[in-house]
Amino acid sequence: MYVAVKGGEAAILATHDLVAEARRGDAAVPEISVAQIREQQGLACARVMNEGSLYDADLAALALKQAQGDVIEAAFLMRAYRTTLPRFGSSEPIDTARMAIRRRVSATYKDLPGGQVLGPTYDYTHRLFDFALMDNESVMVGPDPTISGQDGASGANAAGDARVKPEHDAKPLDSHMPRVPDILGAEGLMEPEIAPEGDPRPFDLTREPVSFPADRDVRLQAMARGDEGFLLGLGYSVQRGFGNSHPFVGEIRVGEVSVEFVPEELGFAVDLGEITLTECQMVNQFAGSKDVPPQFTRGYGLAFGHSERKAMSMSLVDRALKCREFGEAAQYPAQQDEFVLYHSDNVEAAGFVEHLKLPHYVDFQGELELIRRIRKERAERLANETEALPEAAE
């Protein structure tokens, strides 16, 4: 409309300049580099890679820089770029049993082949500020003296700000780390994972429209790129009472897995490189049915990078969404595939929620006209009724 938006084009161009200025911030402060974001904000990069559905840490870091750290905006940048990339094939299925483990924990067994490997985790940190990070560079040690430091083995400095990196008694990990659900599966207690008939190529929801009810490949794919916060909330709802799940963390493993590709002209697998993955397998109770004996059922989560919260949430919701396969009633939001799949995509959700910023005055004018007319008619009707009342009293 002429009043508000004449000169819209100039204004749009000006906003591009303003956002560039805001992104840079105070010019007296050194600019952050993409490599710094990639190396020092790795968990944010992992989230952007997940929700942007593209494994590229450099681009994720660039997206975060360009988006001033707005993760959803950064994921949007990734996706808008990803959609233009040519597809030259699909990789071979990755094998997480052969993962180079960085972290591996199980809540179902005290010890197991390969052992528990804590790796880098915030789980047992006390959430107290480490003010050393404010001023000092290259803080490579945790805020507390490590266990080996307390032993006096490496002589950690009590002054704190001049912490010495202690010698950890890190032992080489076992080369064989079987996945926990496989251990249960060997006993026949775990619901087997059987590929659908003919083992077809998985659905690609970025190229094909989804139809409902959605199969598991579609559901897992949608959740892998779904919003971490949304899935976290849904997973939480399943635990709290909006779902009947009794989950145990069978295993969480984080580490590097190699990706292989078979070029048609070669006919054998070529190693493309490694990607970092987080896999979570939730073990759930299942009372069994007429045809199936009682057994444990599986909720599966897989995410790029070190993304435990995402993988755990995903595995809770995955199990909830399997209700149809197990003949359970779909009573709760997390069990309804349409609800979960349509609303977990944060780029789509953000776009549609934020489109409310766009002008709607044509529609609003229609509503104004309607409400004014209905109110007028109502006022007239009430006026007639009050006039008519004395007569009725007589």
Binding site for other proteins (CB under 8 A): 1-3, 5-9, 11-12, 34-35, 56, 58-59, 61-62, 76, 79-80, 82-86, 206-213, 338, 347-348, 350-355, 358-363, 365-370, 374, 377
Distance of CA 263 to the CA centre of its chain: 31
Which strands make up the sheet holding 295-304, listed edge to edge?
A: 100-105, 247-261, 270-286, 295-304
Nearer to other proteins, 55 or 296 (CB): 55
**Residue recorded with tokens 């976290």:** 232
Closer CB to other proteins, residue 28 or residue 358?
358
* Whether 286 contacts 297, CB under 8 Å: yes
Query: b or e along 57-78 (b: 16 or more beta carbons within 10 Å of the residue's beta carbon)?
Result: bebbbbbbbbbeeebbbbbbbb
Provide the 8-state DSSP code for 303.
E
- Which CB sits closer to other proteins, 63 or 101? 63
The three-state secondary structure class of 164 is coil
In the complex, minimum distance from the CB of residue 67 to other proteins, in angstroms, rounded to a whole number: 13
* 232 or 349: CB nearest other proteins: 349
Least gap, CB of 34 to other proteins (angstroms): 6
Smallest gap from Cβ 311 to other proteins, in A, equals 23
End-to-end CA distance of the chain: 56
Considering the complex, state which of residue 58 and residue 95 has its C-beta at the smaller distance from other proteins: 58
Distance CA 99, CA 318 (A): 22
Phi-psi region of 89 (alpha: psi -120 to 50; beta: other; left: phi over 0): left
Give me the least distance between CB of 222 and other proteins, in Å please: 13
For the CB of residue 362, give the shortest distance to other proteins in the complex, in Å: 5
Minimum gap (Å) between residue 35 Cβ and other proteins: 8
- Which one, 173 or 350, has the nearer CB to other proteins? 350
The backbone torsions φ and ψ at residue 342, rounded to the nearest 5 degrees and listed phi first, read -70, -30
Closest separation in Å from C-beta 227 to other proteins: 13
Nearer to other proteins, 171 or 207 (CB): 207
In the complex, the smallest distance separating the C-beta of residue 392 from other proteins, rounded to whole angstroms, is 23
Least distance to other proteins from the beta carbon of 360, Å?
Answer: 7
Task: Please identify, using beta-carbon distances, which residue of 66 and 146 lies nearer to other proteins.
Answer: 66
Helix (H, G, I), strand (E, B) or coil at 131: coil
Instruction: Give the shortest CB-47-to-other proteins separation in angstroms.
Output: 18
Indicate the residue among 8 and 390 with the shorter CB distance to other proteins: 8
Query: Quick one: 35 or 389, whose CB is closer to other proteins?
Result: 35
What gap in Å lies between CA 231 and CA 173, rounded to an integer?
32
Compute how many other C-beta atoms are within 10 angstroms of the C-beta atom of residue 318. Answer: 26
Is the separation of the CB atoms in 308 and 252 below 8 Å? Answer: yes
Before 93, cis peptide (omega within 30)?
Answer: no
Question: What does the block give as tokens for 88?
Answer: 């030259």
- How far apart (Å, rounded) are the C-alpha atoms in residues 264 and 271? 14
Q: Minimal CA–CA distance to 256: which of 103, 46, 120, 99? A: 99
CA 385 to chain centre: 60
